[in-house]
């Protein structure tokens, strides 16, 4: 029986792509690196910060990666940029799922400080029984964040469902033996999510509740989907 739903944050619940790309580009300017295009920058969204920077700037050494990370955090945590907003229907979805007695969690490539700032600003923290961030453990697609959440909630993999917008989310879920669905309003296109193992790709968060009901995973075993 599906009891636990684990959401990614950036690109899944929050439309933060523009802010992340702008901060990655500004960090590159700050330390004199070539500024990545928006297309290149958005490719690494979903990874932990240092892993994302290492992929985006493959010639950078460890010292430069740390300088880039510091610059990125400074810009992202400042109030100089327009705040990112939740995707349409995100708050209502979480409210409805919580009322239906699902356990809700977050597994994100954000830092703990960054996630806590957004949870406080949006008021969504009350919905989640546990959250895990990339600076606390391994980055996606490593399954450790998800395994920690399963351990904390006492749920087996077959009782959980991951909802995310990148192949890293789908791969993390697969590596932990947890089924996953994608949302198409985030970073990676639907076909890429399907190739990474998504059971379905939804156009928006408003489709999740109907999908749960129609797919048979709304309080039913996810095993029948495989």
126 and 168 together in one domain: yes
- The first and second tokens of residue 188, run together, are 């990676």
Q: How far apart are alpha carbons 53 and 37 in whole angstroms?
A: 14
Residue-number span of the structural domain to which 39 is assigned: 17-76
pLDDT digits (tens, 9 = 90+) for 143-176: 999 999 999 999 999 999 999 999 999 999 999 9
Triad 113, 126, 117: Cα angle to 5°:
20
- The first and second tokens of residue 212, run together, are 């749960």
Q: How far apart are alpha carbons 131 and 116 in whole angstroms?
A: 10
Q: Which of 94, 197, 225 is nearest to 141 (CA)?
A: 197
Cβ-contact 93, 208 below 8 angstroms: yes
61 and 89 together in one domain: no
Question: Is residue 217 scored above 60 in pLDDT?
Answer: no
Please report, for the domain that includes residue 43, its CATH number: 1.10.150
- The first and second tokens of residue 111, run together, are 């830092």
Cβ-contact 163, 6 below 8 angstroms: yes
90 and 34 together in one domain: no
168 and 57 together in one domain: no
Phi/psi for 78 (5° steps) reads -80, 170
Please report, for the domain that includes residue 151, its CATH number: 3.40.50.1000
pTM over the 0.85 mark: yes
Residue labelled with tokens 């879920």? 173
Residue labelled with tokens 């087996």? 156
For residue 44, the SS3 value is coil
* Model confidence band, residue 78 (pLDDT cutoffs 50, 70, 90): confident
pLDDT digits (tens, 9 = 90+) for 87-122: 999 999 999 999 999 999 999 999 999 999 999 999
């Amino acid at each position: 029986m599906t009891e636990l739903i684990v959401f990614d944050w950036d690109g899944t619940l929050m439309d933060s792509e523009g802010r992340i790309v702008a901060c990655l580009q500004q960090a590159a300017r700050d330390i004199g690196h070539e500024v990545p295009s928006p297309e290149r920058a958005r490719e690494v969204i979903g990874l932990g910060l240092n892993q994302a920077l290492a992929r985006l700037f493959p010639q950078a050494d460890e010292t430069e990666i740390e300088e880039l990370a510091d610059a990125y955090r400074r810009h992202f945590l400042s109030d100089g940029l327009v705040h990112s907003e939740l995707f349409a229907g995100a708050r209502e979805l979480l409210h409805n799922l919580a009322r239906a007695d699902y356990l809700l969690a977050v597994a994100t490539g954000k830092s703990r400080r960054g996630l806590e700032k957004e949870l406080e600003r949006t008021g969504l923290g009350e919905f989640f029984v546990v959250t895990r961030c990339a600076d606390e453990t391994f980055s996606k697609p490593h399954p450790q964040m998800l395994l920690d959440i399963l351990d904390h909630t006492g749920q087996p993999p077959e009782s959980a469902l991951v909802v995310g917008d990148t192949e890293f989310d789908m791969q993390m879920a697969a590596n932990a033996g947890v089924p996953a669905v994608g949302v198409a309003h985030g970073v990676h296109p639907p076909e890429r999510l399907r190739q990474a193992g998504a059971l379905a790709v939804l156009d928006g968060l408003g489709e999740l509740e109907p999908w749960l009901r129609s797919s048979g995973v709304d309080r039913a075993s996810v095993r029948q989907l495989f």
